[in-house]
Amino acid sequence: MKNLSKVTALALLISLGGSVVSPTAMAKPNYEEIEKRKKAKTKIMGERTGKKVVKAFDLYNEEDIDGALALLLELKPSNAFDKATVNFYLGQLNAQKENYSAAVKYMKLAISEDVLNFKDQAQSMKLMGDLYAGTKKYKEAKEIYMDWMDFTGEEDANVYIRIAQANYELKAFKDVIAPADRAIALEKPDDRKKAPYDLKIGAFYELKDYKNVVKVAETVLKTWPEMPKSWTQLGKFYMQVEDYKKGLSTMEMAYKNGHFETEVDYKILTSFYSLNEIPYKAGALFEKAMKEDKVKRTKQNVMAMASYFHQSKEIAKASKYYQEAGKFDNDAELYRKSGALLLQSEKFSQSVKALNKALELGSKKKGRIYADLADAYFQQEKYKKAYSAIMESAKDPKTRKFAKSWSSFIKEKAARKGVKI
């Protein structure tokens, strides 16, 4: 802990992003009064109360917390200091038993008279803040933490983290940054805490300040490079600011170092490959990840893999995976895509099969399908079937003109081959 310096108010008032903390969130210690408190003569409990408190602590040391509580509750101290001290211990014991409402009640009573010895009063205030935070009374927690700084004249990184957390929970996102920064400034180089950085990332994200999100995430990666999430989190944020090159290099490094933990990590990297116009690597990575059960073999994932191979002109794989994706729920459009690609790769009989399946499943793109079927049959010299298919295509307004011109050509070609239509 450190004493509050003259620059603390400025540190609390202005964050790196220039956001402002409300004046009520600033500590205003009276150092002269603090020194008087510290030098004040230590108070001691009366003999009768003191003896029973010692017995209560003996029970506590024997792990009989209920017995200790019962003994303390029997006490009816007459002076303010003894009352506050007993309430201080009752608050602590109830907190240990997770009886938080009772703990808050007794700690309030202990603090209210302001008669405890300096260290006990300070400890009570801090515990009170923790109790409020733990019971989601964030406004009250913030206030008592600031009161603690006023009372002690000290700063504590953990307290600033809790203030930042309280502001975050209260959705006062602008007010998260300054206390988080102060917590970071107070940390020792060999005892860095990730919490204030995470709070800043969360606050900037909620404020849609993605550039600052990336800056903080970059610092997190430099500070904790051994943590897998430092890499994958930064990669995701690069996607948010559309920095696809940095995103790709970050996620590739994360992948090579074995930092991928979720399916989303693979999806982000494959997206970066695609966005950087390297679709084949995207398809190949998805294919490998599915074989290793890192990515689930769902319709959406198989369809994405097919799309990546399609983009990279790996027609055979693309058509294969479109058809696999289509099987999940008999998707006519995916069978149509597969059939069209098979036609393109001159696998005519397979193309016919896929295209007919699309028709069977009720595709609404009948004109296009029949036109592709006509082409597939024509290439196999099945002129009657080709002609029949092209005439079906002519029924669709979207393909009518093309189909009519093709029908004449098919008829002529058939005639030259001695086939009567």
Nearest to 4 by CA among 193, 111, 12: 12
Q: Where does the pLDDT of residue 13 fall: very low under 50, low under 70, confident under 90, or very high at 90 and above?
A: very low
Measure Cα distances from 279 to 26, 138, 308 in Å. Answer: 53, 48, 5
Nearest to 1 by CA among 40, 25, 27: 27
Measure Cα distances from 356 to 348, 359, 361, 363, 389 in Å. Answer: 12, 5, 9, 10, 11
Nearest to 271 by CA among 227, 313, 301, 315: 301
Nearest to 85 by CA among 65, 57, 111, 60: 111
Reported as a single tens digit per residue, the pLDDT across 237-254 is 999 999 999 999 999 999
Reported as a single tens digit per residue, the pLDDT across 200-222 is 999 999 999 999 999 999 999 99
d(CA 281, CA 289) in angstroms, rounded, equals 12
Three-state DSSP class for residue 156: coil
Q: Which residue has the tokens 């204030």?
A: 196
Nearest to 368 by CA among 401, 349, 396, 326: 396
With beta carbons less than 8 A apart as the criterion, state whether 406 and 391 touch. Answer: no
The pLDDT of 67-89, averaged and rounded, is 94
d(CA 27, CA 273) in angstroms, rounded, equals 50
With beta carbons less than 8 A apart as the criterion, state whether 206 and 173 touch. Answer: yes
Reported as a single tens digit per residue, the pLDDT across 349-363 is 999 999 999 999 999
- CA angle, 34 as apex, 33 and 37 as ends, to 5°? 90
With beta carbons less than 8 A apart as the criterion, state whether 333 and 339 touch. Answer: no
**Which of the residue ranges 13-17, 211-215, 396-400 would you say has the lowest mean pLDDT?**
13-17
Query: How many residues appear in the chain?
Result: 421
pLDDT over 50 at 3, yes or no: no
d(CA 354, CA 357) in angstroms, rounded, equals 5
The strand pairing partners of 20, in sequence order, are 14
pLDDT over 70 at 257, yes or no: yes
**Which of the residue ranges 135-139, 390-394, 413-417 would you say has the lowest mean pLDDT?**
413-417
**Which of the residue ranges 253-262, 311-320, 408-417 would you say has the lowest mean pLDDT?**
408-417
Reported as a single tens digit per residue, the pLDDT across 299-336 is 999 999 999 999 999 999 999 999 999 999 999 999 99
Angle, helices 279-291 vs 263-275, to 10°: value is: 160
- CA angle, 153 as apex, 148 and 159 as ends, to 5°? 45
Reported as a single tens digit per residue, the pLDDT across 180-204 is 999 999 998 888 999 999 999 999 9
With beta carbons less than 8 A apart as the criterion, state whether 376 and 355 touch. Answer: yes
Reported as a single tens digit per residue, the pLDDT across 366-389 is 999 999 999 999 999 999 999 999
Name the DSSP letter for residue 364.
S
Nearest to 377 by CA among 394, 363, 365, 389: 389
Reported as a single tens digit per residue, the pLDDT across 113-126 is 899 999 999 999 99
Three-state DSSP class for residue 77: coil
The strand pairing partners of 155, in sequence order, are 2
The pLDDT of 86-106, averaged and rounded, is 94
Three-state DSSP class for residue 235: helix
What pLDDT does residue 37 have? 82
Please report, rounded to a whole number, the percentage of residues in the chain having pLDDT higher than 90: 85
Q: Where does the pLDDT of residue 27 fall: very low under 50, low under 70, confident under 90, or very high at 90 and above?
A: low
What pLDDT does residue 102 have? 95
pLDDT over 50 at 1, yes or no: no
What pLDDT does residue 6 have? 29
What pLDDT does residue 18 have? 34
pLDDT over 80 at 5, yes or no: no
What pLDDT does residue 31 have? 82
d(CA 254, CA 367) in angstroms, rounded, equals 47
Q: Where does the pLDDT of residue 32 fall: very low under 50, low under 70, confident under 90, or very high at 90 and above?
A: confident
Three-state DSSP class for residue 154: strand
Measure Cα distances from 196 to 216, 217, 327 in Å. Answer: 10, 12, 48
d(CA 23, CA 335) in angstroms, rounded, equals 65
Three-state DSSP class for residue 118: helix
What pLDDT does residue 16 have? 31
Q: Where does the pLDDT of residue 421 fall: very low under 50, low under 70, confident under 90, or very high at 90 and above?
A: confident
* Mean pLDDT taken over the chain: 91
The pLDDT of 167-177, averaged and rounded, is 97
- 269-291 burial by CB neighbour count: b if 16+ within 10 A, else e? bbbbbbbeebbbbbbbbbbebbe
- 104-118 burial by CB neighbour count: b if 16+ within 10 A, else e? bebbebbbeeebbbb
